[in-house]
Amino acid sequence: MRVSHEVPLNLLNASPNFNHYDYCLPHLLDKYESYKEYFLEARKQGRYIIMDNSLHELGEAYNTERLLHWIEVLKPDEFIVPDVWEDMESSINNATEWTQIKIHKDVLKVAVVQAKSIEEATECYLKYRALGYRKIAFSYGAKYYAELIPHPTRAIATALGRVHVISTLYNNDVISKHDRVHLLGCAVPQEFIYYKDMPFIETIDTSNPIMSGIEKTKYNVWGLDEKPKTRIDDVMEMSTEDLNRKWVTIYNNIMDFKLINNIK
């Protein structure tokens, strides 16, 4: 598994030291010149880039015209096509539409499973496969994840719920060990240790260790039992001085994230 942690602007240049690849939020390309310049330079240097559609940050996918613009300019290695939160039919419709949209041939389109039940997740995954998607993502916070696991701590129930869904699809041969899967975000950082025998989990993105560190929450040896409330958009402009004061906790969380999940 390769992992990327989204960071504030003043940590961008340090992020290649601890990220396996760069994870790009397109709405920030339009908002911050330094963010745009970082990713243009990353492209020049040949770093692997996955570009999101900013659904999680904006509540809906970013403007299609701007998405197409940045795909053409940045030419990311992967692009997560627009999806609709917990809406299987709309997400499948979007994914179908994007199969007809021509983008640079080297950019891999990735579709996100959106569902309200494990049955819908199965249907959504199979539809994406039938549409020709070669890599498929799973969101982190769907309500039905927590409903599947009767754990009293909601963040843990949510994390284990996604593990349960993916495990079930794998055991039922919906997901093949040769498939390619991306995991979007997480509720608690220790979730990923449970995927160690699932070779199809290829990439992860999560700002969890960064946001926890900014809140001065240090990982326990086993992880956390709640998700940080801070979002990346809230702290993009955090000063270097503020980040330096929290850097020890941030850095330790980054290292502990890999240690807890046995990620090199």
For residues 125 and 102, give the distance between their C-alpha atoms in angstroms, rounded to a whole number: 22
pLDDT digits (tens, 9 = 90+) for 121-165: 999 999 999 999 999 999 999 999 999 999 999 999 999 999 999
Predicted local confidence at residue 251, as pLDDT: 97
pLDDT digits (tens, 9 = 90+) for 36-91: 999 999 999 999 999 999 999 999 999 999 999 999 999 999 999 999 999 999 99
Q: Are 123 and 89 a contacting pair, CB within 8 Å?
A: no
The residue among 51, 29, 26 whose CA lies nearest residue 38 is 29
Strands 2-4 and 201-205, bridge-based pairing = parallel
pLDDT digits (tens, 9 = 90+) for 1-34: 999 999 999 999 999 999 999 999 999 999 999 9
> Considering the domain 2-208, what is its CATH architecture?
Alpha-Beta Barrel (3.20)
Helix (H, G, I), strand (E, B) or coil at 130: helix
For residues 149 and 7, give the distance between their C-alpha atoms in angstroms, rounded to a whole number: 31
pLDDT digits (tens, 9 = 90+) for 210-220: 999 999 999 99
Strand order in the sheet with 108-113: 2-4, 201-205, 181-184, 135-138, 108-113, 78-80, 49-51, 22-24
pLDDT digits (tens, 9 = 90+) for 90-128: 999 999 999 999 999 999 999 999 999 999 999 999 999
Helix (H, G, I), strand (E, B) or coil at 6: coil
Predicted local confidence at residue 173, as pLDDT: 97
Q: Domain boundaries in the chain?
A: 2-208
The residue among 242, 248, 212, 245 whose CA lies nearest residue 227 is 212
pLDDT digits (tens, 9 = 90+) for 210-259: 999 999 999 999 999 999 999 999 999 999 999 999 999 999 999 999 99
Indicate the pLDDT class of residue 181, thresholds 50, 70 and 90. very high
